[in-house]
Amino acid sequence: MALHRNVRAEHADATIGFRPQFSRSGETAELPRYRLSADGMDPDTAYQIVHDELMLDGNARLNLATFVTTWMEPQARALIDECADKNMVDKDEYPQTAELEKRCVAMLADLWHAEETEEATGTSTTGSSEACMLGGLALLHRWRSRRKEAGLPTDGANLVMGANVQVCWEKFCRYWDVEARLVPVDASCTHLSPEGAAARCDERTIGVVAVLGSTFDGTFEPVSDIAAALDGLAASSGVDVPIHVDAASGGFVAPFLDPDLVWDFRVPRVQSINASGHKYGLVYPGVGWAVWRSPAALPDELVFDVDYLGGSMPTFGLNFSRPGAQVVAQYYNFVRLGTDGFTRVQQACRDTARWVAGEVARLGPFALVSDGSDLPVVAFRMADGEDRFSVYDVSDALRAHGWLVPAYAMPEGLEDVSVLRVVVRNGFSRNLAELLVSDLGNVVAELGERAGGRATADGKRRSAFHH
């Protein structure tokens, strides 16, 4: 999480004042902000202080920047409340929570077409970032042991992926000392191409990451074509590279909306898949999933046995204690929605995204980069020749209407192109979409008038937006 540097030196005397009607006799009406106060206070007073301050957090439902769930049913909230005290790792105490995790893994393995005979193995995580770390570690350890067996050096490992990968992959590479081979994107292909992937692999490549649902524009990478290119490479050079699919968002979309799209364990080269339960798995943050196609895809040395009364539980994760509530909420969604319910929820998102895309295209100043037909995500840039205002101006102006629509530069290869992105999630109804489009129309008109023919530079790039 955010790293907070030397806070005390900067804010030694900062205090929080609170309204007199909330201070009980004997309490002061001031509280140090960055130190523990000597005395505690009445719980109602403490609640009011924290509650009031949090009003400054935005309205998550109007946040079109995030992929993460911002609405769940009251019944799910009740279960989350009931499970707030449950520790996922404590199988002694909470055997049934562990059982629900197991059912979720089995359901996902089935959804992603793992063969029963291959004995798929998986786990819940705090999110896709942790799941990606685990996927990457399995690739790294497998590569190392193959190299050791062959009597070859085990240094200089690299991982091949598109420049559009989520930041967690660069983190994986830096934390575990693996070279990140980022394949630049271009206007005709805004994500990893099969040729681009194969061209960068060599004998030190631990794997290729294919992303099902690029965070930059929501497009699906062509997993089976990437696999075919790697089959070709293996046949011609002997360099045989496994694939991990980062299906953070797409893992809960494609199985329901594009059942014929072959991206999962149906592709023999795909060894592992991750997804974020808290994105299109429709659970509040933080839960993710990682599944390996077979025990062979997951090296034994990465598995730790945790003792519990009556047995030992194999675990693979970066954390030990973790909340169990999100796993329970994931199971609730599976039971509540079934295949039909998930299909209807995701289809509604895609329909809304495609409608938004059509309206954005009709406004005039924009050109679509993606139209919501993969993930329900619409990315758009300024149309060629439109220089009266920039996507950053549009993002700022929408914020004044309460909408959070981020603007950012595309990845290496397209870094001169800046886009706006709208992520359509469960709960962003057609009605809200119509209000957004109407505000976008007004913003465009206002900005056009204000510019009055005067060109503004598009180069006003802000600090990088993190997806």
Task: Catalog residues that contact ligand PLP under the rule CB under 6 A.
Answer: 67, 127-129, 132, 166, 168, 211, 213, 215, 246, 248-249, 276, 288
For 337-348, give the DSSP string: HHHHHHHHHHHH
Q: Which helix (H) or strand (E) holds 290?
A: strand 288-292
Nearer to ligand PLP, 190 or 249 (CB): 249
* Shortest CB 128 distance to ligand PLP, Å: 3
> 2 Cβ partners below 8 Å, 6+ apart?
none
One-letter amino acid for residue 359 of the chain: E
CB closer to ligand PLP, 224 vs 326:
326
Quote the strand ranges of 372-454, DSSP E: 377-382, 407-409, 418-423
Cα separation, 136 vs 251, in Å, equals: 17
Q: Residue 114 or 248: which CB sits closer to ligand PLP?
A: 248
Kindly state the smallest distance separating residue 94's Cβ from ligand PLP, in Å. Answer: 23
Q: Considering the complex, state which of residue 204 and residue 279 has its C-beta at the smaller distance from ligand PLP.
A: 279
Q: Is the Cβ–Cβ distance between 460 and 105 less than 8 Å?
A: no
Smallest distance from ligand PLP to CB 168, Å = 5
Q: Return d(Cα 221, Cα 223) in angstroms, integer.
A: 6
In this structure, are residues 274 and 136 in contact, taking their beta carbons and an 8 Å threshold? Answer: no
With a CB cutoff of 8 Å and minimum separation 6, the contacts of 292 are 120, 121, 122, 138, 271, 272, 298
Q: Which is nearer to ligand PLP, 134 or 447 (CB)?
A: 134
Q: Which is nearer to ligand PLP, 67 or 292 (CB)?
A: 67
Nearer to ligand PLP, 207 or 288 (CB): 288
The residues, ordered by sequence, that sit 6+ positions from 55 with a Cβ below 8 Å of its Cβ are none
Q: Shortest Cβ distance from residue 249 to ligand PLP (Å)?
A: 5
- Which residues sit opposite 32 in a β-bridge? 15
In 111-264, where do the E strands start and end? 121-125, 158-162, 179-183, 205-211, 243-246
Indicate the residue among 213 and 413 with the shorter CB distance to ligand PLP. Answer: 213
Quote the least distance from Cβ 411 to ligand PLP, whole Å: 12
Q: DSSP code of 251?
A: G
For the CB of residue 252, give the shortest distance to ligand PLP in the complex, in Å: 11
